[in-house]
A = this chain, B = another copy of it.
Amino acid sequence: MLGSHTGVTAALEPCGSTDHPDCGIRDVLDRIGDKWSVLVIVELASGVRRFRELQRAIDGISQRMLTLTVRRLERDGLLTRTVYPTVPAQVTYELTARGSGLTHLVKQLADWSLEHKGAIGRSRDLYDEQNPDHAIR
A contact residues vs B (CB 8 Å cutoff): 1-2, 4-6, 8-12, 15-18, 20-29, 32-34, 38-39, 42-43, 45-47, 57-61, 68, 71-72, 74-77, 95, 97-98, 100-114, 116-117, 119-120, 123-124, 127-128, 134, 136-137
Contacts and interface: CB of A to CB of B under 8 A. Distances in A.
B59 A38 contact: no
A124 B57 contact: no
A31 to B, nearest CB: 8
Contacts of A124: 75-76
Contacts of A61: 16
Interface centre among A27, A32, A58, A105 (most CB of B within 10 A): A27
Chain A interface, >50% SS class? helix
Contacts of A22: 39, 59
A4 B77 contact: no
Given A12-B107, A16-B39, A75-B136, A24 B113 contact: yes
Given A8-B107, A25-B106, 5 more contacts: A9-B110, A12-B107, A75-B124, A105-B108, A105-B112
A100 B6 contact: yes
B98 A119 contact: yes
A136 B68 contact: yes
29 contacts: A2-B97, A4-B103, A4-B104, A8-B46, A11-B113, A12-B45, A12-B106, A12-B107, A12-B110, A15-B42, A16-B57, A20-B59, A22-B39, A23-B39, A23-B42, A24-B117, A25-B38, A25-B42, A28-B112, A29-B109, A33-B34, A71-B136, A72-B136, A76-B124, A77-B119, A98-B116, A101-B116, A105-B108, A108-B108
